[in-house]
Structure 1
C-alpha cells in the first residue's frame, strides 16, 4: 500500500490585496443546496461558497489567500487586478448546452459518485478547465 505525500504550502502575502480584485457573488439554486458562490474573474479557478453573502465573502478571502499562495508556490505569477464589471456584457448565469448521451451519462454517474448535483459537478469542471487554460 502506498501513502500519499501532502505538501504543505506556506501562506504568503499577496502582491495585491483581496479588495483590489473584483468578485462576483451569485445565488445558487435551492436544488443545488442553496447559498452563494463567489468567483474572481481575474483569478481563474479561485472560488468559494457560503450559506449567506457574508459567509461567502469570508470564505472567498480564504480561497483568495490559498489560491495566491499555491500559485506562487508553483512559480506562477499573480495576475494584476483588471476585471471591471462595466466591461463585461450582462449575463444571466444560466447556460444551456446539448451533450451526447454518453457524456451526459458519465457526468451523471460521476455526480452521483461524488454526492453532488449534476449542475454543481459541471460548474466545478468548467471552473477547473478555465483555471487551467488561463494558467
Structure 2
C-alpha cells in the first residue's frame, strides 16, 4: 500500500477544543498513529493540518520500512468489559462513586477516561 491508500482508510480522528495558557485552539490527532497530531485556530484548520501531518507521518514510516497501523474496527467492540478487581479497590471505587452521587459504572468510566486508576 502507498501513502494515498492509507489516507483513504477510516482512521479515528480526535479533534477537541483547548483553552490553556497559550490561548484557545483546536488539537487534532489520529488515534491509531502515535504522535501524528496538529493544531489550528478552528476545527477546519486543525483537520486540514492533521491531514497534512498524517500524510507526512505515513510517508516517513513507509520510507523507513516501518509498519503503518491500520484503523481500529470500533464496530467489533460491544462496550462491555468485565474486569476483576481486588476487594479493596472495588470498595474504594464504590465509596467514591457514592460520594459523587453516580453509579459505580459511571464513576469507573469517568476515572478510566481521565487516565486515573
1:51 aligns to 2:41 (yes or no): yes
Deviation at 1:74, TM superposition (A): 1.1
Any unmatched runs of 5+ in structure 1?
1-11, 97-135
Q: Which has the higher strand share?
A: 2
CA RMSD of aligned residues (A): 3.0
Deviations 1:39-68 (A, max 9, x none): 111111100010000101000100110100
Question: Which structure is higher in RCO with an 8 Å CA cutoff and minimum separation 6?
Answer: 1
Structure number with greater Rg is 2
**Runs of 4+ residues over 2 Å off in structure 1:** 12-19, 83-96
Deviation at 1:32, TM superposition (A): 2.7
Deviation at 1:15, TM superposition (A): 3.1
Q: Is the 8 A contact 2:28 2:39 kept in 1?
A: yes
Trace 1:18-97 onto structure 2 (pairs within 5 A): 18=8, 20-82=10-72, 84=74
Deviation at 1:90, TM superposition (A): 6.3
What is the TM-score with the length of structure 2 in the denominator? 0.58
Instruction: Report how many aligned residue pairs link the two structures.
Output: 85
Q: Is the 8 A contact 1:48 1:63 kept in 2?
A: yes
